[in-house]
Chains A and B, each alone.
Chain A
Amino acid sequence: MKTFARTLLFASGVILLAHYLPAGYWLLSAKMRRPPIVYYSCTEKQFMFFRYTNQTAIRMDAHGKVYEREEFERILPIDHWMQLLRDGKLPDTVGGVALTAEALRRERLSFRIKPTMIDTPSVNLTPLLDADTGRVRLEMPEDFMRLGATIEFIHAQTNVVEREKSALFQRAFAEAGFVFPATVLGGNPSTMKPYDEGYYVADATGATFHLRQLRGKPDIHRVSSLASAEDKPKWEALKPIYFHVQEQDTREVHAIIVDKSNQAWFAVGKNYRLVPIPLQHYDPARMSLVVRGDLINRLISATGEDSVEAVVLNRDYGLVDRYTEPLVPRAATPAGKLARAIFPFTLRFEDVSTGYLGVFTEVGSRIALLVNGGLLVLMLVWLGSRKQLRLSRLPDLLAVAIGGIYGVALVFLLPKAD
C-alpha cells in the first residue's frame, strides 16, 4: 500500500509541477507576440501588413517598405474609408467602382471563425426565429428548439413541450428527407441582424439542410435540391463539421462551412453556390479564419501559431492573389527553446483548440531528455552510495526518469521510503 501511495504522490506531484512550473515560467518570460494583420490594397494590387515589432505598430508592404499612417490609409482606401471620407480624401472610384458611403457600408463582409467555436460545449436548445413575421424587426420566439434524435419546441414560460408545433416540424423534416439524429447545427440566434438566415443542419448521413421558420410554419430544404446542377454534386459530397451563419447586409453569403477534410467553403447566392476557399494550410483545430469583404475583393486569412496564409478573391470568388508567411512559434523563440530544454514536458488543461477541458501536452527538446538521463544516473549513484538502491525507491527513480527536474524536486520534498 505504501509503495502505491508514494507512487500516486509522485505521479500527482509530477503532473502538478508539469502544469504549474511552466505556467510560472511563461508568466515571467512571455512577450507580446501578435501575428501581422493582412490587408490587400485594391489600388496597388499587393498585400499590406500591420505588424507589431517590439510593442510598436509598423505598417508595411510585402517588400518591407514602411509606410506612415496617412500613406497606408491612402493605399487601402476601402479599409479606411470612414477616415478618408472625414479628411475629404476618399477617391470617387477605384478600378471603375464608385466608392459611395452607402455602398461601402452595405457591401462590407466580416466573419471570424476560431477553433473554440468549432469544438465547444453547448446546450442543445436554441431559439428558431421567425424569418418572416411581417414585423419590421426580428423578434425572439417564446420557445426553444431541441434538435437531436427528434425536433421539439419547448415553451420557456411553461417549460412544456409544444406537441402540435413539434409534430408539424417533425413532419416537415420527414418530408424533406431528413434522417435523424441531427449531427451539426449552425445558426445565429440573435435579433441584432438585418434578416434571419435560419439554421443549417447536417443530418445523420451528413447531408446539409437549410431550416427556417416562416410565419410559424417550417421551411426546410435539402440544400443540394436548391443548388444549381453544377453545385449539386458538391453539396451531396459535403460532410460538414461546422456551419458559421452570420447575416450581413449584402445577403450574399449564406454560411461558411468547414468540412471533415478541413476544407472551408462559402455558400453564396440564390443558387447556394458552393465555393471552396483556396487556402492550402488551413487547420480549423489550430487556426483562426478571418473573412473581410468589400466592394471589390474578399480577403480570407488563416492565422495559426506558426503561419499566416491569406488569399484574395474577386467578387466572383476567383483567386486574385495569395500570400503565405511562416511565423515563429512560441517554442522556437529563445524563451521557448530554454523552456523546452528545462521542462521534459508541459501539461495544460485548457487549450485554444477547443472549449473542452482536456490534457494537452508539449514535449521538451532532446536536451531535456538528456537532462532526464543525467539526473537519473546521478540519482542512481546517490542512492547506491547511501545503500538505498532498493525496490521501495522505484517511485523516486521513475519520477526522475520521466519527470526530470520535477522528479528531483519531489524526491527532496516528499516523504522518503523506509
Chain B
Amino acid sequence: MFKALVYKEWIKLRLYWTLIVVAHLLFCVYLCLQLRHAFKLHDALAVWSNWVSKGYLFFKPAKNIPLLLGVVLGCLQFFPEILNKKLRLVLHLPLVEDRAVGVHLLAGLFLFTLALLPGLAVLAVCGASYFPWEFLLNFWYIYLPWFLGGYAAYLLTVFTLVEPTWRLRVTCLLLSAALLKLFYIDSFYDGWRRLLPGMVLLTVALVLLPLLSSNRFSKGYGS
C-alpha cells in the first residue's frame, strides 16, 4: 500500500517536479554565472571584502525559492485531491487515516528535498571554488532557515488546503503567512545560529497540522 501510494504521487507530480528541478537548476547556474561575472569585473579582494564586511551573498536571489516551491508543491499535490473531495478515497483505504495522509506528506517532503538539492549542490560547489570554507558555513547558516521555511510552507499549504471549512481556511492562511514570515528575517552570517534549533523543532512539529486538517476533512466538516 505504501509503495502504491508513493507511486500514485509520483505519477501525479513527475512532470511538474521535473520542470521544477530543471528550472531551479538553471536559476542556480545563472547565479553562479553572475558570481563568475563579478570575479571577472572586479578583483577577488573586492568581492571577498563585500562578502565579509557588507554581507554580499551571490545566492541571495534564491531566498524565496524554497517558500515558492513549498507552496507550489503543496498545491500541485493536494489541490487535485481536494477538488471533488477525492481525498476521501484515500482516507477510506484500508490504512490508518493518519498514515495514509502521512505517506502523502512524506512523498511531498521527499520530492521537495530532491527538487532543491541539485541546485544547492551547484551553488555550494561554485561558492567553494571562489571562497574559503567559511563561505560554505555562511551558506549553510543563511540557507537553512529558508530551506526550513520551504518545508513549513509545504506543510502549511497542505494544512490550509485540506481544511474543509472556508472560515478556518482563511484563519489557517493568515496563521501560515505570519509564521512563514519568521523564517525569512534577514540576518548576516550565522545570525540565525541561536534560533535554528527552535526553528527545526517547530518545522518538525508542523507535520501535525495537515493531519489535524485531514482528520476534520474525514469527519465531513463543512460539507
Question: Measuring CB to CB, which residues of chain A are less than 8 angstroms from any residue of chain B?
Answer: 1-2, 4-6, 8-9, 12-13, 16, 19-20, 121-127, 140-142, 144, 146, 154, 156-157, 159, 189, 349-350, 355-359, 413-415, 418
Contacts and interface: CB of A to CB of B under 8 A. Distances in A.
Contacts of B114: none
A350 B212 contact: no
A4 B208 contact: yes
Contacts of B49: 127, 140
The B contact surface, by secondary structure, is helix
Contacts of B219: 418
B48 interface: yes
Q: Max chain B CB contacts within 10 Å: which of A19, A121, A359?
A: A121
A358 B194 contact: yes
A406 B91 CA distance: 34
Given A9-B212, A12-B179, A357-B192, A142 B132 contact: no
Contacts of B138: 123
B182 A349 contact: yes
Given A356-B193, A359-B195, A359-B198, A1 B98 contact: yes
Contact of B132 (A4, A16, A154, A357): A154
Interface stretch (B64-72, B81-89, B183-191): B183-191
Given A20-B178, A140-B45, A159-B129, A5 B193 contact: no
Interface in B202-221: 202, 205-206, 208-209, 211-212, 215-216, 219
Given A1-B211, A121-B189, 18 more contacts: A1-B98, A4-B208, A5-B209, A5-B211, A12-B179, A19-B182, A20-B178, A123-B52, A123-B134, A123-B138, A125-B52, A141-B45, A144-B52, A349-B185, A356-B187, A356-B191, A356-B195, A357-B185
29 contacts: A1-B208, A2-B212, A5-B211, A5-B212, A6-B212, A8-B206, A8-B208, A12-B175, A16-B178, A19-B182, A121-B187, A121-B188, A121-B190, A122-B189, A123-B134, A123-B138, A125-B52, A126-B52, A141-B45, A144-B48, A156-B45, A159-B129, A159-B131, A349-B185, A356-B190, A357-B195, A359-B198, A414-B168, A415-B163
Q: Which 7 A-B residue pairs are closest in the complex by CB-CB distance?
A: A5-B212, A121-B189, A5-B208, A156-B44, A121-B191, A157-B44, A16-B178
A123 B51 contact: yes
A121 B137 CA distance: 12
A207 to B, nearest CB: 26
The A contact surface, by secondary structure, is loop
A125 B51 CA distance: 10
Contacts of A8: 205-206, 208-209
Nearest to A4: B208
Interface string B36-60: 0000000111011101110000000
Nearest to B164: A415
A8 B191 CA distance: 26
Interface in B110-169: 129-132, 134, 138, 163, 168
Contact of B171 (A124, A126, A140, A414): A414
A408 B202 CA distance: 23
Contacts of A140: 45, 49
